[in-house]
Amino acid sequence: MSFSHCDNFPFHAAEIIRAAKPGFKPRIALILGSGLGVFADQLDNKVAISYQDLPGFPVSTVVGHAGELVLGSINGVDVVCMKGRGHFYEGKGMGIMTPAVRTFKLLGCEFLFCTNAAGSLNTGIAAGSLVALNDHINTMPSTPLVGPNDERFGPRFFSLANAYDADLRSRLHQTAESLSLKLHEGVFVSYPGPNFETAAEIRMMQMIGGDVVGMSVVPEVIAARHCGLKVLAVSAITNMAEGLSDVELSHEQTLKCAAMVTDDFVRLIGTFVAGYAQ
Ligand code: R1P
């Protein structure tokens, strides 16, 4: 089954979320990538809902993606966290994340904070680094909004200028500086997966201006910009891409390295969200 763009799933999911936590007014929606779901554990007053109980949410099939939506707060800022996402390679189409993103828009979130585990294409960005994404190059076979346009959420044609919001990024850099954490910045290249890229593909991605490569982010960023949600995105670098190191790539390796980055990741994003209260 692939998701229709003209359905009421987001309206039903938003109703279920509102009923689960009366008075909850999320300002930020976070999507937590492979091995990064631990961020949600620090939320105050948590309520978790399985994706299975939320119409249109992607039932997770990937290890390290719990498949739970966690509602809670940090320093009084209400946030909603997806512990795990759907990916194009799971077979439900490029629109796999669209209903979830639209649900966040209906809940009144001000922006979408995407995170993922990714490979580095840039020899100046080592495994274990955090990278704020400033643009993307989509090498997946399509885009999430192919099909009838749902005018309730946005127009048929729309711009991806400043898709990775410059003001939010600058604020995140200030947070990183205040914590003495190194935060890189770079262009994300999406890859369909589930296989990792070949060394020759990696050389091409370097030539066309990529810094980071992964199998997610782009579907949700495009859906978010369509419905007017701003986007901030951070990749946790879990490996150098194929051909750039001798480390053998596997999902186990991704999860192992993600666990090594989580302290910095949780500190950076937790402090950023807490500061959003002002
Ligand atoms: C590969 O190990 C998996 O980790 C990344 C890749 O996209 C792929 O799914 O997951 P996230 O992008 O969801 O973090």
What is the pTM for the complete model shown?
A: 0.96
Give, as one character, the DSSP assignment of residue 6.
S
Query: Which ligand 1 atom is the nearest neighbour of the CA of 258?
Result: 14
34 in catalytic set: yes
Q: Which protein residue has the closest C-alpha to ligand 1 atom 9?
A: 215
pLDDT band with cut points at 50, 70 and 90 for residue 260: confident
Per-residue tokens: 212: 């980071």
Whether 258 shows a pLDDT value over 70: the answer reads: yes
pLDDT for res 63: 82
Q: How many degrees, rounded to 5, is the angle at CA 216 between CA 212 and CA 221?
A: 95
Pairing of strands 68-74, 130-138: unpaired
pLDDT of amino acid 66: 87
Answer for the pair 16, 49: CB distance below 8 angstroms, yes or no: yes
For the cut 80, the answer to whether the pLDDT of residue 136 exceeds it is: yes
Question: Which whole number is the average pLDDT over 124-145?
Answer: 97
Work out which ligand 1 atom sits closest to the CA atom of 249.
2
**CA contacts within 13 A on the Cβ side of 81:** 30
- Alpha carbon 230 to its chain centroid, in Å, reads 12
The residue to mutate among 87, 195, 197, having the most atoms of ligand 1 within 8 angstroms of its beta carbon, is 87
Please report where in the chains the tokens 């003001």 appear, as a residue.
167
Ordered by where they begin, the domains of the chain are 24-144+154-256 (3.40.50.1580)
The per-residue DSSP string of 186-241 comes to: EEEEE---SSPPPHHHHHHHHHTT-SEEESSSHHHHHHHHHTT-EEEEEEEEEEEP
Tell which residue, 67, 15, 89, 76, has the closest CA to residue 45.
76
- Amino acid in the structure at residue 120: S
> What is the ipTM metric for this complex?
0.98
State both tokens at 252.
């186990």
Q: What is the mean pLDDT of the segment spanning 250-268?
A: 91
Q: Which of 68, 73, 87, 242 is catalytic?
A: 87
Report, in angstroms and rounded to the nearest whole number, the Rg of the chain calculated over CA atoms: 17
Given 13, 14, 29, 34, which residue is catalytic?
34
Picking from 82, 94, 73, the residue whose alpha carbon sits closest to that of residue 25 is 73
Predicted confidence (pLDDT) per residue in 74-129, tens digit: 999 999 999 999 999 999 999 999 999 999 999 999 999 999 999 999 999 999 99
Answer yes or no: is pLDDT of 1 > 50: no
Six token digits for residue 191: 């890859």
